[in-house]
Structure formats: C-alpha cells, structure tokens
C-alpha cells in the first residue's frame, strides 16, 4: 500500500498520464521480491527504490547468501500451483532483472523504464 501512495498519479514524475499504467506492475514486482526475501531469505529484509530520470530501480536485500532459483521456461497452463511464478513475472515485466552477492547475503533487483511509450 505504501508504494501505491508513493506517487500513484505519476510514478515517473513526468506529468504524463500515460505513465500511470506502470504502478500496478511495479507494485507486483516489488511485492514478489519482498515476499521471496521474507519467505526464502534470512535476517532483515531491506527495500530500496531509486528513480533516475525515467528509470526505476528496486533492490531487495536479505542475509541469505543463496541466489534465487529462477524456474526455466514459462509456467505450464495446467499447472495449478499457487507459488513459483513470482520471479518469472518479475523477469517478464522488468526492463532488467538480476541478483548479486551482498555479504552476508544477496540483493535481488530489477529496473523498469517508466518513459511513456510512443
């Protein structure tokens, strides 16, 4: 909810109403990374959001050193599992996505270009 209030009318600060469509995707991606850190990580979880022009970077850090497992390929249509698709969603919606060591744990991050599409 806090992210939705962050700048719901214009997350990029561009003044362009077309930019508002990004907020739902951003909330979903941040929620997936934070949930993974809480469920599968260790220690405190830290979230950092940074806006550089129209490029949003989100980083979620925890104290567990193992890199996240990104399942290979798209989920099967008949797979009714309620978990295991979060990182696939992040990878599909992000401009870039990855993970890097950050002792004692790791940081999982994504970028999203908020520039309006022509």
The reported pLDDT for the residue numbered 93 is: 93
CATH class for the domain made up of 2-113: alpha beta
Domain boundaries, given as residue ranges, for the chain? 2-113
Compute the distance between CA of residue 43 and CA of residue 45 in angstroms, rounded to an integer.
Answer: 7
Please tell me the predicted confidence (pLDDT) of residue 44: 94
Cα dihedral 49, 107, 33, 117 sign: positive
Q: State the average pLDDT over residues 71-98.
A: 74
CA nearest to 19, candidates 10, 30, 6:
10
Query: Once rounded to an integer, what is the mean pLDDT over residues 63-80?
Result: 68
Taking each helix axis from N to C end, the angle separating 22-40 and 86-93, rounded to the nearest 10 degrees, works out to: 140
For all residues of the chain together, what is the average pLDDT? 80
Distance CA 96, CA 57 (A): 9
Q: Among 28-37, 48-57, 60-69, 83-92, which stretch is predicted with the lowest mean pLDDT?
A: 83-92
Helix ranges restricted to H, the chain:
2-6, 22-40, 86-93
Say if CB 114 and CB 12 are below 8 A apart. Answer: yes
Residue 26 CA: distances (Å) to CA of 30, 89, 103: 6, 11, 26
């Amino acid at each position: 909810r806090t992210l939705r209030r962050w700048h719901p009318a214009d997350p990029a600060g561009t003044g362009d109403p077309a930019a508002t469509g990004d907020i739902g995707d951003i909330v979903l991606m941040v929620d997936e990374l934070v949930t993974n850190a809480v469920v599968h990580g260790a220690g405190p979880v830290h979230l950092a959001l940074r806006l550089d022009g129209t490029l949003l970077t989100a980083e979620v850090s925890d104290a567990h050193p193992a890199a996240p497992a990104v399942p290979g390929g798209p989920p099967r249509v008949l797979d009714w599992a309620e978990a295991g698709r979060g990182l696939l969603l992040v990878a599909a919606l992000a401009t870039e996505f990855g993970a890097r060591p950050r002792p004692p744990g790791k940081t999982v991050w994504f970028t999203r270009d908020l520039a309006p599409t022509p």
